[in-house]
Structures are given as C-alpha cells and as structure tokens.
Amino acid sequence: MFSTGFLKKHVYDLAAYAGLIATFILFLVFSGDKLTYNMTTVIQAGAVYAVIALGAVFVYSMGYMDVSVGQQVGVYAILIILITNRMGGTLAGVIISFLVILAIAMVCGAFNGAVAVWLKLPSIVTSLFLMFFFTGAQLLLMESTGTNSISIQATIKPADRNTYNLVLVAAIVIVTLAVTYFFRFSKLGKYTKGIGANEIATAQSGINTLKWKVVAYMAFGICVAIGTFIMLMRTGSAGKGTGSGYAMDIMICLILGGMPLSGGMKSKVSSALIGTFTYVLLSNDLATMGVSLNMINFVKAVIFIGIIFVTCRKKDNVLPR
Amino acid sequence: MKKVIKKFAAILLAGVMTVSMAACGSSESNKGTGGTGTQTENTTGTGTSDAAENTKSVEGKDCTIGVAFYQDTGLAVDATKAYLESMSDTLKVTFKYTVLTQTDEAANLTKIQELISSGVDGIICTMDLGMTSIIQECEAANVYIGGYLCDYNTSYTSAFDQVFKSKYFVGTASDGQNPDDVTIGTTMFNSLVEYNKRNTEAPITHVSMAVFPVWAFPSQQAGADQFVAAVEEYNKTAETPITVDPLDEETDVLAFSPMNTTYFSKHADTQAIISFAAGSAFVYPTMVQAGVDKDIKLFTTGFDGGEEANFGTAGTGTYQQNMVTAVESINYPLVLLLNKINGVTFSDQPEVAERISSSQIVINSDEDLAKFQKSVYYTKAATDAIYSPEDVLNMTAYANPSATYANLRDMLAALTIDDIK
C-alpha cells in the first residue's frame, strides 16, 4: 500500500498518529460507563500541556529547550493568587495579575534567548539558571505566606462543568490557530525552523538569529502564562511544588507527537497536540485498563524510550542544544 | 528499509509490553468485582436512607476503594495495605493504591482523577492538598472520599463549606493531632515523667524540642506549647525541676529535612530531644552523625522499623518513647465510605463530616515495645489486628443495623498500646 520511500519519509508522523489513534481506541474501549467523565479529565489535564507545548514548538523547532518552565508555572500561579487576593479577589485583580505574569514570562523568554547568544552558551544552561532562580522564588513566596498552599479568592473557573470544558477547548483552539499562523505563515516560524536546521546558514542568509531567538522564547513565554492560568483554573490553588515536572512532561508530549529533538524543517505544530493528547490519553488508558497506578510512570517510561528509539534521526546532535 | 522495520519493531515491542502489563493489572483488579456491578447504581448521593428504615442486615455490594497514601512504602504503609487486603473478601472491596505529593495540587488532582477513571467508588486520602478541586471531581463522578492520618486543617480552616459540608466527604481520622484537640504535648510530658520514675538515679532534667513547620503541622507547635506548660506546672512542686529549651526557629523547626548538627551546639546541655516531628527519619540519623546518640535520649512520633535495636534498655538506648497511629484507624473512613456506597447511614450520623483524633499507641518501655511488636503495624500480619474483618463489617450500618456512629468513634479511641491483642 505504502512505498518504501513514503514510509521512510513519514515514519515519524505515522508513528505519532498511530500512537494517538491507538490510545484513543483504548480510551473508548476501556472507559466504559466513565467515558463522559474521562473525556472531561482528558480535556482538563490536556489543556495545560497543550497550550504550553504549543508555545514550546517555537523553542524546540530551533533545537533548543527550556527546563525552567515548571518552576515558572509555579511562581506565576502563586503570583496570580497573591496579587488577586491582595486586590480583594476582584476581576480587576485577576486581569492585572495575569498581565503581570505575562510581562514577567516575556521578559524571562527574552532573557533566555538573548543571554544564551551573548554568552555563547547552550540555551539549556540559561534555562537552568532560570529554573534555579524560580525554584528559590517559589520557596520564598510560599514562605512569606506561612502556609503550604494558597487558594485564589476569585472565581476563575466556570461553575458549570460543561462550560468549563468548553472554555478549555476554546483556549486550545485559539492558541492552536495563533501558533499555527505564526509558525507556518510568518517569519517567526520560518526562521526558527531555519535556525534548527542550520543556524550558521540561516545567519549567513542575513537573518538576525538573535532577534528571532528572543521572539521565539517570548512567544513561548506567552503560552506559559496562558497555560499557568488554565492550570490555576483547574486547581484554584498553588504551593511549593506547583508546576514541578512540567518541563519533562512538555518534552515528552512533543517527542511523542513526533517533534524532532534537533528541531529543523520537520518541526510541526501538530506535534504539540498529538503528543499532548497521546500522553494524557495514555495515562488515562493505563488507569482504566487496571495497570497499578504506581506502575503507570514505569510503563510510560518504557513507551517513551521506545518512541525515542524510533524518532532518533541523527547520530550526533540528538539532544537539544 | 531495514531501519524502518527496526523502528516499527521497537514500537511493537513497547506496545506489547504495555498491553501485557495492563493485562496483568486488570486480571488482578477484576478480582471480586464481578458481582453486582455497583459502580453507578448507588452513586447518586441521594440514596442514603434513614437507619430507622434499615432494620435488616444487608449484604454489602462489591465495590472498589482507592487509597491515596503519602508515600509508596514503609512500615505503616505496608502494614495498612496488608490489613486492607486481609479485609478484601469479607468486605467485598477491591483496594487500589496510589501516592500523593505534599507540594503539588495539580499532581494530586491528576492522581485522584486516575483513581476515579479506574472505577473506584470511594477514596481514602492521606493528604490535604488541592482538596477543594478534588472534592469537585468527586462530586462530578459521584465518588465518596474520606481522610486518614490527616487533620485536613487547611480545608477545615479555609474551605470548610466546600470540603467538610460536601455530601461526598465522609470525614477524617487524624493521627491524634487535631489542632483543636491537641494531646501530644501532655503525652510527651507523661512519657518523660514515666522515664524519670524508672530512672530515679539519673533523671532527665534538661530537654529540647523539634517540630515540623507550623504551616504543615500546626498541632505540633501547639503540642510543644502544651508540653512546656505541663513542665512548668510540674516544676512548681517537683524536687528535681526540668528545664525546657524554647523552640529555636533556625534549628528546631525541621523543614522535612534532617536536623542540622548545629542543633547540638544550640542545645549543648540537652539530655533528651522531644521530637514532635518524625524523629526516626529526621532526628536520629543526625544524632548518630554527631555521635550523641549514646548520651541524648529521643522521645518521638513515628516508628519506621529498626528503632527496637536502640529502644529502652537495648543497644544505645537512644529511643525512650515512640508514638504511632494504629493502622486500624483507617476503619473510620472505610466504614463511612462503605455505608455511603451501600446507601445506608448511621442513625446518629452527624450532618456535617467530622475530623476525629485517633488514639495513639505510645511505647514507653521494653514491655510496651514487646507488645507493639505483636501489632499489625509491626508484624504486617492481619491476624494481629485489633479489629478483624468481621469486626469491621459489623461496624457498618448495612451489615449491622444496630451499629452506630458513636461506636465507630469509640473504635478510634480504643487503638492504644493496651488494646493490642
């Protein structure tokens, strides 16, 4: 049915789509009478990952990564709560707090992109710095509250579950459309892919790679801010460990979706969505299939290493720079 | 082409492994769930009938209860699992386990959602983090939830209406340290006095303390205050007064990390550490490291296994008191959940869920230790439990229409060292 050439060319995409379809079929089969409930949990858990992963496409397409995203999410969530509560839990408080974290996220993005170039460091090093910085900030902020967990005093989550899920779906759709536009039809997407494919050649073509790296990281920052707000809608509270693990989860989502770790021209927006929902559905499937809940991470790890083996493209430069 | 085939083979192998592991899991979890299929029949939340109407004993329905622990393994967790599994057939309950985190609400919510997705009818939760969103999930899925080893103080003080007044929350059995019902300070003081009575020639006259942060365990700070007050009262008439070093924020508040060795320079004259925090894990290793375990005694909560080698007159004699919550205290939320799942309630059931302090097993002497070593907590053998599966079944309102909530509360009060068989 498929020629060898077609398989060779599309093996990564086929593997990603096959994974999503397989997990979705298992989801339908094993959910039983909990199908409706499970769909809502998949949307709720998937929305945060999807939005952040969509933003991460810009960074990963350059062959870079950001390991500070989890700690950023934690600090932003705490800041939203603290500012909103300080302003009496009003709508204005929510809006202002969101704008504050949006600004911080963009500044951090710019820092990540620019410092790496100026100091000629791999971007992972600057994101490591940010990770430690935000870890400390998260602890200090929580210490100042004198509690393990703080809750937002404003109502940011629709009371009706269906409305809440619709809001989440709408958020995913809007962010997807925006990211798709900028990634496929604007200079940002073209240049980030170019940087991932061959940075020197891109620079030699007269493109200011520093500028586009900064813009890419800032775009990611916007998505991190939106993702944080969506996460806060879900829990309504934040604490010392909020966001931990997100950096790794986002990387797993993108890789499961077929995003090449080395970035480049084969980077796709669809990787974020396919990977996110494969990952979330997989977690749900393993639970509904009766796998011991303590074994789920182990099974995920086995699948992940399998996918890594399949999607490895180069002998060198496999890991992000 | 070879490469492509290799890669597909890798996917296939990963898939086969996943499915085979899943199959193992499902065959286990299917045990005992074949019967009446109760998952949705009784989950409207309105099915509770008055106990007055419930005059005949009814056979319980097959159901599944998820238990969300604070850690995956350890003496207490392993013993609790063994105890629960021993009751599985009698109570017709399949138990599923997961582990929560102390710091990430979203992770806890995901764990609870996984439990619900896996088909549980009720959940016993040992952590009060993200509870308002967890309760919302339980309400959406018609799943009941109860607490164990946790005072739910954050929810109690800041989200009482959302959590304790929810009809899906059945209440919690805390580990003897409800902030509004603190006795741990008095218990520690009594243990110290008992030690001094046994050792009149070399009584302990100078002690220091250690606690976990107040945001995590407010009752420990209250317990420390209670201990100091008890000592001050004692000193009014005592021939040999006891000195208590005031709590030092820098060294005495353990942020869930081992005690710093500077503790011993801050408390140079201390003869005993009264550790309201779990001393076996967070204090004793530092004592050994600093080489003071032969000179300073330790009175502490928790028992992780291995303490017996240096308890009382054994070994270095460092441990002179250990205090634990009996694993049988899990029967409180378990019975309340089973009642809900089976659509019955106690005639004297309070309208709003409660948090009840469980009595403590206090090990003060070699004799106490010998007794404790025969408990299910230590042996992990369900036959050593204070309450057998039949006893627990008898506590439910559906199997025993004359069972009462007062009896269930009494059960929590009868889990002391004297109650061990």
Interface test with A, best of B1, B21, B72, B253 (most A CBs within 10 A): B21
Q: What pLDDT was estimated at residue A145? A: 85
Pick from B21, B105, B130: CB nearest A295: B21
The DSSP letter of residue B400 is -
Dihedral sign from CA coordinates of A71, A77, A78, A83: positive
Please give the helix or strand (H or E) that residue A78 lies within, else none.
Answer: helix A69-86
What backbone phi and psi angles, to 5 degrees, belong to B294?
Answer: -85, -20
Query: What burial letters (b/e) apply to B349-380, b meaning 16+ CB within 10 Å?
Result: beeebbbbbbbbbbbbbeebbebbeebbbbeb
- C-alpha to C-alpha distance for A78 and A67, rounded to whole angstroms: 19
Contacts of B103 in chain A (CB under 8 A): 148, 239-242, 244
- On whether any CB of chain B is under 8 Å from the CB of A10, the answer is no
Pick from A37, A292, A293: CB nearest B141: A37
Q: What pLDDT was estimated at residue A311? A: 60
Contacts of B29 in chain A (CB under 8 A): 290
The DSSP letter of residue B341 is H
Q: How far is A287 from chain B (nearest CA, A)?
A: 5
Kindly determine whether residue B116 and residue A31, on different chains, have CB atoms separated by under 8 Å. no
- Could you please state the CATH topology (level 3) that the domain comprising B47-177+326-359+382-416 is classified under: Rossmann fold (3.40.50)
CATH number, span B184-325 = 3.40.50.2300
Kindly determine whether residue A307 and residue B215, on different chains, have CB atoms separated by under 8 Å. no
What is the rounded average pLDDT for all residues in chain A?
Answer: 87
Evaluate whether B346 touches B403 at the Cβ level (below 8 Å): yes
Among A209, A247, A227, which residue's Cα sits nearest to residue A128?
A: A247
Taking 50 as the threshold, does the pLDDT of residue B282 lie above it? yes
- The pTM of this model reads 0.83
Taking 90 as the threshold, does the pLDDT of residue B255 lie above it? no
Q: What pLDDT was estimated at residue B16? A: 46
Average pLDDT over residues A129-135: 92
List beta partners, residue B65.
Answer: B95, B122
pLDDT over 90 percentage in chain B: 69
Q: What pLDDT was estimated at residue A116? A: 78
Taking 50 as the threshold, does the pLDDT of residue B25 lie above it? no
pLDDT over 70 percentage in chain B: 87
Structure confidence by residue, pLDDT tens digits, A204-220: 889 888 899 999 999 99
Query: What burial letters (b/e) apply to A72-110, b meaning 16+ CB within 10 Å?
Result: bbbbbbbbbbbbbbebeeeeebbeebbeebbebbbebbb
Contacts of B216 in chain A (CB under 8 A): 148
Structure confidence by residue, pLDDT tens digits, A171-209: 999 999 999 999 999 999 999 999 988 888 998 889 888
Q: How far is B196 from chain A (nearest CA, A)?
A: 37
Provide the Cα torsion B123, B126, B129, B132; round to 10°. 30
Pick from A8, A32, A309: CB nearest B10: A309
- When pLDDT is cut at 50, 70 and 90, the band that residue A244 belongs to is confident
Contacts of A139 in chain B (CB under 8 A): none
What backbone phi and psi angles, to 5 degrees, belong to A306?
Answer: -65, -45
Q: How far is B248 from chain A (nearest CA, A)?
A: 17
Look at A167 and B37; give whichever has higher pLDDT.
Answer: A167
Q: What pLDDT was estimated at residue A1? A: 56
Average pLDDT over residues A118-138: 86
The ipTM, to two decimals, is 0.84
Structure confidence by residue, pLDDT tens digits, B38-89: 333 343 333 344 444 456 777 888 999 999 998 888 899 999 999 999 999 9
Dihedral sign from CA coordinates of B1, B7, B13, B19: negative
- On whether any CB of chain B is under 8 Å from the CB of A151, the answer is yes
Dihedral sign from CA coordinates of A140, A145, A148, A151: negative
Contacts of A29 in chain B (CB under 8 A): none
Kindly determine whether residue A307 and residue B15, on different chains, have CB atoms separated by under 8 Å. no
Structure confidence by residue, pLDDT tens digits, A304-321: 777 667 665 554 444 444
Evaluate whether B169 touches B211 at the Cβ level (below 8 Å): no
Q: What pLDDT was estimated at residue B7? A: 52
Domain limits, CATH 3.40.50.2300, in chain B: 47-177+326-359+382-416, 184-325
How many residue pairs bridge chain A and chain B with CB atoms within 8 Å of each other? 161
- When pLDDT is cut at 50, 70 and 90, the band that residue B295 belongs to is very high
- On whether any CB of chain B is under 8 Å from the CB of A198, the answer is no
Q: What pLDDT was estimated at residue A264? A: 85
Using DSSP, state whether B95 is helix, strand or coil: strand
Q: How far is A114 from chain B (nearest CA, A)?
A: 31
Dihedral sign from CA coordinates of A182, A184, A186, A192: positive
Pick from A41, A237, A295: CB nearest B130: A237
Q: Strand locations in chain A, DSSP E?
A: 149-151, 237-239
- On whether any CB of chain B is under 8 Å from the CB of A310, the answer is yes
List beta partners, residue B95.
Answer: B65
Structure confidence by residue, pLDDT tens digits, B84-105: 999 999 999 999 999 998 888 9
Lowest mean pLDDT among A109-118, A228-237, B143-152, B408-417: A109-118
Contacts of A288 in chain B (CB under 8 A): 117-119
Amino acid at A99: L
Please give the structure tokens belonging to residue A201: 């050649």
Every domain of chain A and the residues it spans: 47-269
